[in-house]
Structure 1
């Protein structure tokens, strides 16, 4: 994936709600949602930690330069995989179950046995559901 700095600057500016040139800790949640995550408090803290920030998001700010360097390390910075995931998640439950996966892939003449193998390979926690973080492993 190409990382056009100008394009990412525009995206950054969209999340800089008060237009002060930085993203505050309070704006981090919206930023993470944009790149395809439904962040928990732990995810937000991890995001801050990866930037070398404290875990108290209310006190932190993120510059564009920090943001741009971090974006380059994300598994789906453009959000394209998240859009694909949402297409598979027919009932908007936040995960893909085996029936949703079979419905889509068998319409493309895929063998149902192959689908079972794919599902087993991707469903890391073996809960019978593929969450977004598991889905993106198909594309690494």
Structure 2
């Protein structure tokens, strides 16, 4: 695969240093990702850090880096699930958010701090005490096996 900067420059057709949703759609095709409208919306919500409705090179680089961790998971479904758990929209799942998110899966069973810590210990590869989208994707991929 071409490097990220080359892909960015190739699809930033108006050369403004930003990738619009239409430009992102074309770039995703080259990256072998099916660019549905829903996926593009959720990618913009997750990666458009400055909120200008476009991706700059740094934001696009982060997106491409994270996509490498998604494996066979549906990117749209994975990102939507992540965003549901990441209630504050920080781009990270905190232990508190994880505990709330796990309650959905545990039903009436209590979600203890030990369970939350067990998940964090398994998913948090950089040991910062929270789970980013790449860590989340890798953890979900491991669970699917």
Q: What's the TM-score, normalizing by structure 2?
A: 0.49
- Rounded to whole Å, the distance in 1 between the matches of 2:84 and 2:70 is 21
Aligned length: 95
- Rounded to whole Å, the distance in 1 between the matches of 2:61 and 2:97 is 30
Q: What's the TM-score, normalizing by structure 1?
A: 0.51
- Rounded to whole Å, the distance in 2 between the matches of 1:122 and 1:102 is 14
Runs of 4+ with deviation above 4 angstroms: none
- Rounded to whole Å, the distance in 2 between the matches of 1:45 and 1:102 is 26
Q: How does 1:1-140 map to 2 (within 5 A)?
A: 24-26=10-12, 27=19, 30-31=24-25, 34=40, 36=43, 38=47, 41=58, 44=61, 75=71, 76-106=73-103, 108=106, 109-112=109-112, 113-140=114-141
Higher strand fraction (1 or 2): 1
Out of 123-132 and 36-45, give the one that drifted further: 36-45
Which one has the largest radius of gyration?
A: 1
Give the secondary structure class of the aligned counterpart of 1:126.
coil
Match of 1:7 in 2: none
- Calculate the aligned-residue CA RMSD, in Å: 3.8
Answer whether contact 2:70 2:138 (CA < 8 A) is retained: no
Answer whether contact 2:70 2:134 (CA < 8 A) is retained: no
Out of 110-119 and 95-104, give the one that drifted further: 110-119
Unaligned runs of 5+ in 2: 1-8, 13-18, 29-38, 48-54
